[in-house]
Structure formats: C-alpha cells, structure tokens
Homo-oligomer: A and B are copies of this chain.
Amino acid sequence: MRSGVRCMAAVSSMECVKGVKGVILDMCGVLYDSGEGGGRPIQGSVEAVKRLMDSGLILRFCTNETQNTREKFVQKLRRMGFDISVSDVFSPAPALMRILRERGLQPHLLVHDDLIPEFDGIEMNSPNCVVIGDAADRFSYENLNEAFRVLIGLKKPILFSLGQGRYYKETDGLKLDVGVFMKALEYACDVQAEVVGKPSPEFFQSVLRDMNLQPHEVVMVGDDLVNDVGGAQRCGIKGVQVRTGKYRPSDEDHPSVKADAYVDDLAAAVDAILTQKH
C-alpha cells in the first residue's frame, strides 16, 4: 500500500509529466531486479505497468539487454507477470541489425552466445566492422585479440558497442559490462565506437518514431541516471529517475545530469503520471 504522504510528495515534484502522451520504461531495475533464476519483479511494478497500459497513454519499453534475444527476454518478463509484447520492446541488437542492413555492413560478432540468433540472415563472411555486446565469459584474451585484428585490418575501423555500461551486479558479484571492452578496443585501434542502445540519441529517436510522438510529449522512467535519464533528456524527452535498481543517493548530486524528478519506484512514478493526466 502506498502512503498518502509519499504519494503527495511524489506528485508535487512531478509537474514535469503534466500532459505527457507517452511513457518509455527502462526494464532492469525498474520493472524487476536481476538475480538468480532471471530475477523478480520490483514490488508494485506489475500492477503499475498494467495501470499505464489501461490509461490510454502510449507505452514502450527500452532496454540495453544483450545477453539474450528480445524474444527470450520478453518471455522472462511475461513469466514474472508483465503483460508485454515483443513489438513494444526496444533493445540494441534489432536496432543494430537495421544499421548493418542500411549501411551494407558485415559484422564480426563478439557477443553472448544467446544473442547470436538476433543476427540471423546477415552476411558475415567478409567482416568489415566489429560488434561487441555484453559477451561476459566470451570476453577472453583470445576473442578480444581476434576482434582487434579484424578492426586493425580495416582501412577505416568501425566498432559498434551495444551499450556502454561499466559494470553490473549479479548474484555472485560485480561483473564488467560491455563499455569497458569498448574502451579497450577504442584505445587499441585509436577509434571511437558507435554506441547502439541507450544513451544513443538515435536509439531514443527510433522509439519516438514508433510512438509517433514529439519528444516533449514523452517521459522516460529509468534507474540509470546517465544512460536512461541523461540520454532521454539529450533528445528533449523528460527524464525521471526511480530510487530502485542501480540508483544511488549520490545520483541526486550528479555534476552534469539532473533528473526532471526523482521518485521512490515505478508505482510512485505511475501514480504521479496518472494524477497529472487528469
């Protein structure tokens, strides 16, 4: 049960969401906490998503998940009780597939085994770019050397990184994320990676196009201040940070990114959004 006091406090600071027509939700840390067996829903989130869906607002989901195909990922969320469709979820690999096809590129993949089916149908015999995702244990010295040799052998090295996260928490401890290996290969080849996924503006813009809304009509709710909130704001989308997932109190004093509002969790954010709607 939500206390009236907390709800009023949340509402009072949420003027920013007045009149929005659409909502983009980050997933891990907002809908659920990852962990053993795939994770578990954050309290109140299943119901909050349902209320948003019933409200008539346009709703999309946006994740940097690259350890699994979008289909498998949505199946996991559905098992947790979220009534989500694959077509409403934006993740880096399908976005990259469009880029590869548009630019006629053949990728050398250094990604998680379970992500590989996302690249079905793309030619890979003569790689002219390198794609890295959260490859986890596949980030071996041998595989990094192999990706490096492809890059350094290209006249103009092209490196795509599916996100730019530093690290994440699993049940057995902190793990290095894809951004760390992006920086490694950037230095090795003196190139700058093209980041696909949050916080890339192109990624948010593709979601906006799908929603058929203008940036100022949309609010992004996420737990990651830089990638969710800051990324959205750079596109003119309002950014709200929830105090769940990877949120840390120091985020509220960040030197360069300031959320339009901070709320305790997704349920509080939805309370406020629906209150301001009326």
| Surface stretch bound by B, among A19-27, A51-59, A166-174, A206-214 | A166-174
| Inter-chain contact B174/A145, CB cutoff 8 Å | yes
A188 near B: Cβ within 8 Å? yes
Please indicate the chain B residues that have their CB under 8 angstroms from the CB of A190 in the complex.
Answer: 166
Chain B residues with CB under 8 Å of A73's CB are none
One of A9-17, A178-186, A227-235, A262-270 contacting the partner: A178-186
Residues on B with beta carbons closer than 8 Å to the beta carbon of A180 = 144, 184-185, 187-188
Residues facing B in A145-188 (CB within 8 A) are 145, 148-149, 152, 166-167, 173-176, 179-181, 183-188
* B136 in contact with A152 (CB, 8 Å): no
- Size category of the A interface is 20 to 34
A152 touches B174 (CB 8 A): yes
Q: Are A167 and B152 in contact (CB under 8 A)?
A: yes
**A 110-152 to B, binary, CB cutoff 8 A, 1 in contact else 0:** 0000000000000000000000000011111110110011001
Question: For A186, what are the chain B residues with a Cβ–Cβ distance below 8 Å?
Answer: 183
A176, B176: Cα distance in complex, Å:
18
25 contacts between A and B (CB under 8 A): A136-B141, A137-B141, A139-B141, A140-B140, A140-B141, A141-B176, A144-B176, A145-B174, A145-B175, A148-B176, A149-B173, A152-B167, A166-B187, A166-B188, A166-B190, A167-B188, A176-B188, A179-B187, A180-B187, A180-B188, A181-B184, A183-B183, A183-B186, A183-B187, A184-B184
